[in-house]
Structure 1
Amino acid sequence: MKTERDNPGVIAPPPLVFAGGAVAAFVINWLWPWPVLAGWYRWAIGGVLVATGLGVIATAFVQMRRARTNIEPWKPTTAIIDRGLYAFSRNPIYAAMAIGFIGLAALANSVWFIFILPICVAIIHFGVILREERYLEAKFGEEYLNYKRRVRRWI
């Protein structure tokens, strides 16, 4: 018996993609250190970027809970959110994860994070976002297509 899947079929949980990239960057930096910033201000820059990323993720989480839809992209979506952060970006959580990742580069004082970030973003783009978009178009039709026309994918 064939059942229809009510989720986008993402290849991996997005936090796992960025966490895996961070682990890889830490390991490579441990083997071949390559500093990105000198001085105390790397802590300030890194801290602000990580805090900004976490703040955006927390805000998006609250918006999703209020809309009674799942934050996990491997579970069914029950609503299109087009207010708050989602009025400016269709993927504020993924953008925030990338911003936080840049903050980790400063905190870890490692250029390797900057080299690994595009790999993480490509995995998110092709393995998560494009799948989510196909799923949302099929599930919500014109409502999602109108939203997609109004709001950018990232920022």
Structure 2
Amino acid sequence: MELKLPPPLLFILSAILIYFLPQAEVYFIPKAFGYLFLLLSAIVGLMSVYAFFKEKTAFTPLDPTQTNKLVVQGIYRVSRNPMYLSLVLALMAWGIWLNSYFAILVIAGFMWYVDRFQIIPEERVLVQKFGKDFTDYQTKVRKWL
């Protein structure tokens, strides 16, 4: 598999990097938006995990072959990758709280890495496991949002 760093570890490393990058002296986005993004992150993350529990299938990012059912209900009707989207929203909240204008670069790098080394390999496995059902799903639902 092409996965180099699991998304949760990459998330932690990205959050640490944002913390140590320069911060603006004037707040360009009110901190309240950080709370909003954190709330959205929690909602999206919980909804995505709930969908897997409801369908009684595995959701480990380390081994997508454990998935025994294609989950397309709930939040998965809006995004094919809501778990990763929730991590992006949490990084956005963190960047806003820290007033880090460089956070956007870290978040873009996080999204690129997760797409290249997690989502693309994951989706290859899902095409092999679920065939046309998954390719039809890919055409109907966007990767991120």
Bigger Rg, structure 1 or 2: 1
Note the 1:1-155 alignment, pairs <5 A: 10-28=3-21, 33-35=22-24, 38=27, 42-75=30-63, 76-155=66-145
Amino acid in the other structure paired with 1:34: Q
- TM (normalized to structure 2)? 0.90
Deviation at 1:10, TM superposition (A): 3.0
Q: Tell me if structure 2 keeps the 8 A contact 1:10–1:132.
A: no
Q: In the aligned structure 1, how far is the partner of 2:114 from the partner of 2:129?
A: 21
Root-mean-square deviation (CA, aligned residues, Å) is: 1.8
Percent identity reads 24
Deviation at 1:119, TM superposition (A): 0.8
Q: Tell me if structure 1 keeps the 8 A contact 2:57–2:68.
A: yes
Equivalent position SS for 2:42:
helix
Gaps of 5+ in 2: none
Deviation at 1:9, TM superposition (A): 5.6
Deviation at 1:50, TM superposition (A): 1.1
Q: In the aligned structure 1, how far is the partner of 2:80 from the partner of 2:25?
A: 31
Equivalent position SS for 1:90:
coil
Q: Tell me if structure 2 keeps the 8 A contact 1:10–1:73.
A: no
- TM (normalized to structure 1)? 0.84
Provide closer, same or farther for how the CA distance between residues 63 and 9 of structure 1 changes in structure 2, counting only shifts above 3 A: farther
Q: Tell me if structure 1 keeps the 8 A contact 2:24–2:101.
A: yes
1:5 maps to what in 2?
Answer: none
Structure 1 outlier segments of 4+, above 3 Å: none
Q: Tell me if structure 2 keeps the 8 A contact 1:14–1:124.
A: yes
